[in-house]
């Protein structure tokens, strides 16, 4: 996704970011261990892909004031 001044917003996780998450039993185990909602892909991405992503991609929470 190209950089732009305004933030990207979506009701679903873009396929590129979905591919950064583990699948199947691995994802279910991590969700249980970390007490994450198994249906909340955004929270999973923030928790699981925060420090280990592909290339120049950074996943981090933006705290709005």
Q: Per the structure block, which two tokens stand in for 39?
A: 């249906």
Q: Return the pLDDT at 8.
A: 81
CA angle, 46 then 10 then 1, to 5°:
80
Q: Which long-range contacts (CB under 8 A, 24 or more apart) does 40-46 make?
A: 41/12, 41/13, 41/17, 42/13, 45/13, 45/17, 45/20, 45/21
Q: Encode pLDDT of 26-39 as tens digits.
A: 999 999 999 999 99
Q: Encode pLDDT of 42-63 as tens digits.
A: 889 888 876 666 667 777 777 7
């Amino acid at each position: 996704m190209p950089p732009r001044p305004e933030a990207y917003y979506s009701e679903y996780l873009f396929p590129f970011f979905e591919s950064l998450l583990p699948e199947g039993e691995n994802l279910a185990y991590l969700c249980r261990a970390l007490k994450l909602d198994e249906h909340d892909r955004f929270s999973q991405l923030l928790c699981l892909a925060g420090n280990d992503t592909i290339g120049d991609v950074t996943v981090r929470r933006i705290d709005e004031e």
